[in-house]
Amino acid sequence: MALELVSENKSFGGWHKQYRHFSRVLDCTMQFAIYLPPAAMLGEKVPVLYWLSGLTCTDENFMQKAGAQRLAAELGIAIVAPDTSPRGEGIPDDPDQAYDLGLGAGFYVNATMAPWCDHYRMYDYVVAELPALVEAHFPVSQHRSVAGHSMGGHGALVAALRNPQRYASVSAFSPISNPCNAPWGQKAFTAYLGDDREAWQSYDASVLMAKPQGLVAALVDQGLADSFLARELHPEALLAAAKDSGYPLTLRQHEGYDHSYYFIASFIEEHLRFHAGHLQKEA
């Protein structure tokens, strides 16, 4: 697959780059960002943290707002940030142009319902197609971790829970932890997957964590001033599932913090160090 360089910026001795490519899985052109630390510039194969962003976001939000490059450079970790849904001419969008369905709201599932099923296969894209592309074109290893925020936190947890052999660790900020019982999740799952709630469960982190296929160290941070906490996020369901199954989940709750990138920037260093520790064990 050919990569088209969109932009590049030197950062902390490494490089932040944006690329465009055609995705066979999504049947459209996609864009992603990658931060390559100085070690990668010297030819060393470095591990990768995949970052999945939330509703309305693109590949740019995390890279511009989280302040992760300095420590990623120090730790020798590459960061890859994909877009949050397919985009472009002919890609279906919510007819009401709502922010929580369609463009920018792929929910990291493989849609099975029309008109979404021809393009909205973000689960396969972030779990398989994009990592294969990254590993073929950049000096990175097959040691991977995954993280995300909100809808992306849901995506990261689901990816790790369904593929424990692929990831050394998983973390999330303010994830949609129990989408089967949250308005955001119910709306997206009904559109993308249909009315069969059993099909929804394979994309619900709380359901998956209750009966894990394997164990991946997990860190979740939740702000207690988050306006979406009670209605959409349900971290209590994730914690209950982990307690029932003995899953290695650390869930931290923080007074005063909201759903924004101010929250992410405040604790991203701890998440990067968490992943670095587990990636080093894999190496």
**Which residues carry out catalysis?**
150, 226, 259
Report the distance separating Cα 277 and Cα 114, nearest Å: 43
Query: Of the candidates 203, 247, 245, 207, which has an alpha carbon nearest to the alpha carbon of residue 107?
Result: 203
Where would I find the H helices in the chain? 38-41, 60-65, 69-75, 122-124, 130-137, 151-162, 183-193, 197-200, 205-210, 235-245, 261-282
- Of the candidates 123, 83, 118, 130, the one whose C-alpha atom is nearest the C-alpha of residue 103 is 83
Q: How far, in Å, CA of 208 to CA of 201, rounded?
A: 7
Residue type, 127: V
How far is Cα 201 from Cα 126, in angstroms, rounded to an integer?
A: 19
Q: Do 33 and 63 touch, CB atoms closer than 8 A?
A: yes
Q: How far apart are CA 258 and CA 256, in angstroms?
A: 7
Between the alpha carbon of residue 283 and those of residues 133, 145, 168, 210, the distances in Å are: 20, 12, 10, 29
